[in-house]
Structure 1
Amino acid sequence: GGCTSVLASAYADVHAFGATLPLAAVGCGAYALVSALGVKGARNGGEGERAGWERALGLQTGWERWALAGTTSLMAATSGCLMWVLAARLHTECAYCIGSAVLSSSLCVTSLRGLSKDDLRAFAPYGIGTAAALVVAFGAAYGGVEEQQQTRGGALPLELAYAPPEIDTESSPRALAIAERLAKADARFYGAFWCSHCKDQKLTLGRQAMAKVRYVECFPSGWKKGEPLAPECSAAGVKGFPWWVINGEVTSGEMSLDELENVLDGKGKDG
């Protein structure tokens, strides 16, 4: 459930212009744009001589504030749509999603407060129109997802049959040595068969090394909406994948061989 359900759902990707992008990557790009606009606006003091297009739109302050208000308004509108998906379609909670929604809404309010009254009046029709267009686009992009999960008799959950990825890389001598150390430390690697980072972690270690590592599959019977973690994963408090427990210490996320050695040496992931 939770964030795991969101990441495994059909709503986790954005399909546009023949390409598929993770929704999380799109969100990171939006936050990066907001940061860049904020820095530029701060350097310019948000003021300055207006460009011709600013005068045509009736804007009084620097263009950075207007762009910042527009971007954060779109982010807040998108977050609203995603909160609806979380509650009405996925029927779950995701701390990261909710936190992002709160942050984007706060940024929107803050950026709008930075506009003059004249700018707010000029911005309102553009902001409302763009937000409405975004809601329509969101419905067009994700409207078919629910249909794919329904039959005449009612809703069917998204379901993934258990299919462990093939590990076709050969282990290096270093990877084998690390695997031996992991085995001696009674380390556990908790993962999910559908998790791309878990697969990459296995490929980093290689086939022979993974045979020595204690790997725990958290969805051994496949995944569907509401599917609980395997008891051993629940007992370990797994909150994401990959999830390592080495020398009694939890380390989350995919790790390189250097990082695995650092953790084994008690130095932490970053050494």
Structure 2
Amino acid sequence: MRSKRSKPWIYRNSRFIIAGIAAVGAAITAYLAIEKLTGGIVICPVDGCDNVLESPYATVLGLPLALFGFLAYAGMGTMAIAPWLINPDSQKELRSKLENWSWLLMFVGGVSMTIFSSYLMYIMAFEIKSLCLYCIGSAICSLCLFILALIGRNWEDIGQLIFTAIIVGMITMVGTFAVYSPIHSTSASEPNVYGVTTTSTPAKVALAQHLTEVDAKMYGAYWCSHCQDQKKLFGQEAVSKLNYIECDSKGKNPQPNLCVTAGIKAYPTWEIDGKLQEGVVSLENLAKLSGYNGSTNFDNP
């Protein structure tokens, strides 16, 4: 009597591995989503995370992209462990169907997540031009999930699988371009989108004029929310008097070469007296750093 051939190791353990990787991806995206929703600061070992996480690509339908990533990883993990919740003795047929359907859904999810992550990696490298280790880690998790969904079981109809991947890939790309189309179609110079509407007091205008006189520079990008926060502190009239340098080539009057020469790694960054100050700086601190001696009663007209 010939013994029954045992399953390959990857077939026996793929669901465990998928569940583990999905948990890692869920942890990464949950952290980013929580910090974004609560207004916290993401701790990153390299410069550039803020540029990526504050870009318009990090928000979808008014919500953090990381939140949708968390739901995707949670879904993959749930599908990986779902068959284990079914009693194999009393509900054998149901478990078998659930295994087949969950594998197909994990494959579809893996294809979609990998294509979407690849697009975001392209945007990070060639559009935002900054490094985000969390985003790279999430992309690696997505790729691993796709590979495991592909090799983790014995697929009977490879042709049907390839056809499914093509259809899912096309739908994912169309959906991705549709979601991000407003970013590509919106001009950075449209005041209703990127303009500052807050009012300037005389003290704010005087500070802005002083900063320009001492050759202080504010480096930023049109899509940077922190840059908008900085500009709002000055108000519309004062902002027009600042020496603002646009670092994104798609912005209005861009000067990316100046940003590279100055070694700008985060937005906004102030250059005052040859020293760089990253992040939003209060008007009081800007006054001190630049040697401003005028009125500091910035909030009163």
- TM-score for the superposition, normalised by structure 2: 0.46
Pair 85,149 (structure 1): closer, same or farther in 2 beyond 3 Å: farther
Give the corresponding residue for 2:155.
117
Residue 62 of structure 1, CA deviation: 1.9
The SS at the match of 1:158 is coil
2:133 counterpart letter in structure 1: A
Asked whether 1:2 is paired with 2:43, we answer: no
1:13 counterpart letter in structure 2: T
Structure 2 gaps, min length 5: 1-46, 190-220, 234-243, 249-265, 272-277, 280-301
| Identity %, equivalent residues | 25
Measure the CA separation in 1 of the matches of 2:87 and 2:56: 43
Q: Which structure carries more relative contact order (alpha carbon 8 Å, separation 6+)?
A: 2
Measure the CA separation in 1 of the matches of 2:94 and 2:142: 27
Measure the CA separation in 2 of the matches of 1:3 and 1:222: 20
Q: Of Structure 1 and Structure 2, which has the larger fraction of its residues in strand?
A: 1
CA contact (8 A) 1:2 1:92 kept: yes
Give the corresponding residue for 2:108.
70
Pair 116,48 (structure 1): closer, same or farther in 2 beyond 3 Å: farther
Residue 44 of structure 1, CA deviation: 5.4
User: Any runs of at least 4 consecutive aligned residues in structure 1 with deviations exceeding 3 A, and if so which?
Assistant: 41-51, 221-226, 228-231
Asked whether 1:137 is paired with 2:179, we answer: no
Give the corresponding residue for 1:246.
none
The SS at the match of 1:137 is helix
Asked whether 1:101 is paired with 2:120, we answer: no
**Deviations 1:201-248 (CA, angstroms, capped at 9, x unpaired):** xxxxxxxxxxxxxxxxxxxx99976536579xxxxxx99xxxxxxxxx
Matching of residues 173-192 of structure 1 within 5 Å: none
Asked whether 1:27 is paired with 2:69, we answer: yes
| Corresponding residue pairs, total | 167
Matching of residues 1-271 of structure 1 within 5 Å: 2-15=48-61, 20-43=62-85, 49=93, 62-149=100-187, 157-159=222-224, 160-161=227-228, 162=230, 163=232, 226-227=266-267
CA contact (8 A) 1:72 1:107 kept: yes
- TM-score for the superposition, normalised by structure 1: 0.51
Structure 1 gaps, min length 5: 55-59, 165-220, 232-237, 240-271
1:31 counterpart letter in structure 2: Y
